[in-house]
Amino acid sequence: MTTIEQQTLASLPKGFGLAIINSKAPFSSNDGKDALDVALMFGSFEQKVSLFFQGDGVYQLIANQDGRLVSIKDYLKTFSAFEFYDIEDIYVCQQSLVNRQLNETFHINDVQVLTSIEFSKALNRHQHVLRF
Amino acid sequence: MSTLHLVRQSAFATNDFTQCLSVLDHQDTVVLMDDGCYNLKHSLMDSLLKRVDGTININIISSHAQARAIETMAKVSHIDMADVVALTFNHNKVITWQ
């Protein structure tokens, strides 16, 4: 990010960084892997990235999954690399978990479960959004 | 006339499973595969299990459920792909919900 943008960032706390919304289940499409690739790419260029998991996207975070059983290279394991890319803001929609009868056990740490209102507020803080 | 229903989509994302249940008949068989395995935890599943009076048979592909860390359920039989092939021969027709 340029210096000018950083100055704007300091003066305006609202609207910064990239938000990536994950809304698809992990194994039936490439969307989850694509979102991961984009997140890590932005991370390696020291861009601020936040990850949002909504709808069937929450299945990407559930513990004890194994893609090898359905002949898929398990990209979910790479999620544990987020901290090395300074991706620290990982948000999950609580309502999506409740609807799917999922408990809050995830295969990575520091996941923040947010209510629908908090989730929408967190998303609206970002300047750019990509949805997968 | 019996039908084999192959459910491949999550009911949380599409209404395929709803449509499947609306045409489901006696002596039909349902197989949950791929993202269809997620339907095991959907409220539609509860209503389906109530309808099961021994005539409708519900199955799930074991490896597909296990890959997604989906817990098993007593009323749903675990099968593999070879069993699906057998089922296609035991039914008059097949509908794939995808």
DSSP state of A47: -
Whether A18 is in a domain gets the answer yes
Interface contact B12-A100, CB threshold 8 A = yes
ipTM score: 0.86
Q: What residues are paired with B31 via a beta bridge?
A: B6, B59
Compare all CA atoms of chain B with the CA of A106 and give the residue at the minimum distance.
Answer: B69
Give pTM, 2 decimals: 0.87
As for how many domains chain A has, the answer is 1
For A50, the token pair is: 């936040």
| B38: nearest Cα among A60, A81, A108, A94 | A60
Six token digits for residue A90: 């990982």
The radius of gyration of chain A from alpha carbons, rounded to an integer in Å, stands at: 15
pLDDT tens digits for chain A (132 residues)? 444 444 444 444 556 899 999 999 999 999 999 999 999 999 999 999 999 999 999 999 999 999 999 999 889 999 999 999 999 999 999 999 999 999 999 999 999 999 999 999 999 999 999 999
In-domain check, residue A2: no
**Which CATH superfamily does the domain covering B3-97 fall into?**
DsrEFH-like (3.40.1260.10)
CATH number at residue A72: 3.40.1260.10
Across the A/B interface, how many CB contacts are shorter than 8 Å? 51
Residue B12 burial class via C-beta count within 10 angstroms: exposed 0-12, middle 13-18, buried 19 and up: buried
Chain B residue with minimal CA distance to A23? B13
